[in-house]
Amino acid sequence: MLRQQTSTLIREYGTGEVKRNNKRYPHYLNFYDIPPMDNISIEEFEKFALDRLQVLKALEAATLRNKPENEVKEHLQELSKQYLPMHSNDSERVYPLDEERRKDHVSHFILRLAYCRSEELRSWFLKYEYILFKLRYLTVSTKERQEFLNHQNLTWKILSRSDKDMMKADLQAASPHVVVDTETFFEVEFEKVLDMVARRSVHLRGGTAYVPISDQVTLVMDEFKNRLAKALEITAKEFPKLDEDDRIMPILNNINRYYLGNSFANSTKVTGNITAFDVDRLVEHFPLCMRHLHRKLRDDKHLKHYGRMQYNLFLKGIGLPLEEALIFWRKSFSKFSDEQFQKNYAYNVRHNYGMEGKRVNYTPYKYVYPESKPAVKIHFAHFETNGSCSKIINNNQPGPEEHHGCPFRHFSEESLRVTLASVGVRNDAYIREIINLVRNKHYQVACTRYYEITRGGERGMMDTIEHPNHFFEQSYKLSIKQGDS
């Protein structure tokens, strides 16, 4: 399965020109009914999966932030160029269409495997694949759309003129946005358009729904959604029967938690190196998770293991060098003697900086395969050890007396309200908005709204917060721009 597949791409190396070659994938659109039968390398497997995930996550961020459809489309085009380029058959320039579509096809199925494993994952994947397909569908020419629909046998019987005249009043009542006289209507079994039936946006008679041609996109999208939902259910049932390949299983089991952004490993970009004495002055730029840890550290003169680790990695990311980190932690743990500090805590600080133990610089996640398998290093660069929001939110739930974690995820509603008010979010409407996002489990979006509200910005002023150091950098840069730092 993991043998490198011979590329079907035809290249003219002399001129660097890539010939169009879309015999294998004649259509730009794909319902992903047939799984790919290729052998692919482990490198392609991971790269394809991550690249598609970048696109779906960007769609998620844009959707949760209520960005208008045209902005989402533009953003998608930009991202697609980088991660998942796709061109239609009538593109003016020549592109390696088969290669692009193969990547689209294979990457969809890899993520389908990864996201079939729970109801929550299935519904996430379905939602953002649906949006991706819809944006593509709306972008491609009518001719290409029709060719694709014909290929899929998605053609619907057209309502005859005489029947249309007979039902004119009912059709108009159900579809007030069209002019019945000039509109074409399809006859569709009502089970195929349940969403439209539920919205009462089609005329229904004797088990047949009459759908205006201008709503054809809804028919196609319903078809896409129904097919993918069924396919995900089937994949979920088959998943446990898959061979336990220890090269791909770690990817499939964890991919939904990968963090794809900046690692902020040595992020001294905005502040330069800082000293132990700068930390208090910078707290105003910290996200709530780090403000909370800082306050608890000051109150208790101690933090438990995961709190120290979360906060230490963050401080490292904002530019605190190891020597200064040791001073910071020593002074903060003032209720302990030097000996106790050296014995119980200094090691962990140095360990986070890669100076103890296996000397791992705590950023890139590296997975080394067992010796019996080819040792392929997975460079899911920022997974697990780097303190991204998704790691903080999903791993190591805080227990009693522990203060790590994400306030939006781990605080009670009441504590969160009090905390928000204490950091300046006093407007009831804002608090309600944030609490609603939290109730719907959009913790990072809630954090982003908190950022926007407290920095006097408009909704959408920044991308969704993915990493506490991302929050810090944005806040610090903004203060420099405003000339108050």
Q: Which of 110, 443, 449, 476 binds ligand SF4 (CB under 6 A)?
A: 443
Q: Which is nearer to ligand SF4, 219 or 392 (CB)?
A: 392
Binding piece for ligand SF4, criterion CB under 6 A, among 15-23, 362-370, 375-383, 439-447? 439-447
Contact 55, 77 (CB under 8 A): no
Number of residues that bind ligand SF4 (CB under 6 A): 14
- Of residues 282 through 321, those in contact with ligand SF4 by CB under 6 A are 287-289
Token code pair at residue 317:
């990311």
SS3 181: coil
Nearest alpha carbon to residue 479 among 447, 456, 446: 456
The residue type of 178 is: V
Q: In 15-118, which ranges are continuous DSSP H helix?
A: 42-64, 69-83, 97-114
Strands of the sheet with 208-212, listed across from one edge? 157-158, 185-189, 208-212, 203-205
Token code pair at residue 278:
């700068």
Using CB under 6 A as the criterion, what x/- string covers residues 461-480 for binding ligand SF4? ----x--x--x---------
β pairing state of 208-212 and 185-189: antiparallel
Contact 462, 447 (CB under 8 A): no
Per CB under 6 A, 326 contacts ligand SF4: no
Per CB under 6 A, 444 contacts ligand SF4: yes
Q: What is d(CA 320, CA 432) in angstroms, rounded to the nearest whole number?
A: 36
Minimum CB separation from ligand SF4 for residue 314, in Å? 9
Q: Which of 140, 167, 211, 406 binds ligand SF4 (CB under 6 A)?
A: 406
Q: Which is nearer to ligand SF4, 218 or 388 (CB)?
A: 388
- Of residues 155 through 214, those in contact with ligand SF4 by CB under 6 A are none
Q: Is 116 annotated as a binding residue?
A: no
Cα separations in angstroms, 457 against 430, 447, 453, 475: 13, 13, 6, 11
Per CB under 6 A, 260 contacts ligand SF4: no
Q: What is d(CA 170, CA 366) in angstroms, rounded to the nearest whole number?
A: 63
Nearest alpha carbon to residue 210 among 199, 221, 196: 196
Q: Which of 315, 320, 389, 434 binds ligand SF4 (CB under 6 A)?
A: 389
Minimum CB separation from ligand SF4 for residue 213, in Å? 45
Q: Which is nearer to ligand SF4, 72 or 288 (CB)?
A: 288
Binding residues for [4Fe-4S] cluster: 289, 389, 406, 447
Binding residues: 289, 389, 406, 447
Where do contacts with ligand SF4 occur on this chain (CB under 6 A)? Answer: 287-289, 389, 392, 406-408, 443-444, 447, 465, 468, 471
